[in-house]
Amino acid sequence: MHRVGPFAGPGVGAAAETAQGLAPWNDLLREHFVALDVDDVDRDGPFRSRVRSALVGHLSAAVVSSAPQSACRTTGLVRSDPRVYLQVGMVAQGRAVLEQDGREAVLEAGDFAIYETDRPFAWHFPGPWTLNVLTWPRELVPLGAEVTRAATARALGGDRLGAIVGHTLADTAESPPELSAAAGGRLAGQLAALLGTAVGESLRRDEVLSPGSAADLRRRVDEYVVEHLADPDLGPEDIARAHYLSVRALHRVFADDDTTVGALIRRRRLQQARRRLLDPRGADTSLTEIAHVCGFADLASFSRRFKQEFHEAPGSYRRRAGL
Q: What is the mean pLDDT of residues 70-85?
A: 94
pLDDT value, residue 213: 62
Q: What CATH number has the domain spanning 11-206?
A: 2.60.120.10
pLDDT value, residue 209: 52
Task: Give the right CATH number for 212-320 from 3.40.50.300, 1.20.140.10, 1.10.10.60, 3.60.150.10.
Answer: 1.10.10.60
For residue 111, what pLDDT band results from cuts at 50, 70 and 90?
very high
272 pLDDT higher than 70: yes
For residue 257, what pLDDT band results from cuts at 50, 70 and 90?
confident
C-alpha to C-alpha distances, 312 to 143, 266, 277, 317, 320, nearest whole angstrom: 42, 17, 13, 6, 10
For residue 1, what pLDDT band results from cuts at 50, 70 and 90?
very low
pLDDT value, residue 291: 93
Residue type (1 letter), 286: S
DSSP3 helix / strand / coil % (the chain, rounded to 5): 45, 25, 30
For residue 49, what pLDDT band results from cuts at 50, 70 and 90?
very high
- Exposed e or buried b for every residue in 40-65, given b needs 16+ CB within 10 A? ebeeeeebebebbbbbbbbbbbbbbb
Collapse the DSSP code of 37 into the 3-class scheme (helix H, G, I; strand E, B; otherwise coil) and give the result: strand
Q: pLDDT tens, 196-218?
A: 988 888 876 665 555 556 777 88
Q: pLDDT tens, 94-106?
A: 999 999 998 999 9
As a whole number, the mean pLDDT across the chain is 88
Q: pLDDT tens, 302-314?
A: 999 999 999 999 9
**How would you class 15 by CB atoms within 10 Å of its CB: exposed for 0-12, middle for 13-18, buried for 19 or more?**
middle
**Which of 83-87, 88-92, 273-277, 280-284 has the least mean pLDDT?**
280-284
Contact (Cβ atoms closer than 8 angstroms) between residue 146 and residue 249: no
Contact (Cβ atoms closer than 8 angstroms) between residue 26 and residue 38: yes
Q: pLDDT tens, 230-252?
A: 999 999 999 988 887 778 778 88
pTM value is 0.66
What distance in Å separates the CA atoms of residue 218 and residue 254, rounded to the nearest whole number? 7
**Close Cβ partners of 130 (under 8 Å, ≥ 6 residues apart):** 63, 64, 65, 91, 92, 93, 94
Domains of the chain by residue range: 11-206, 212-320
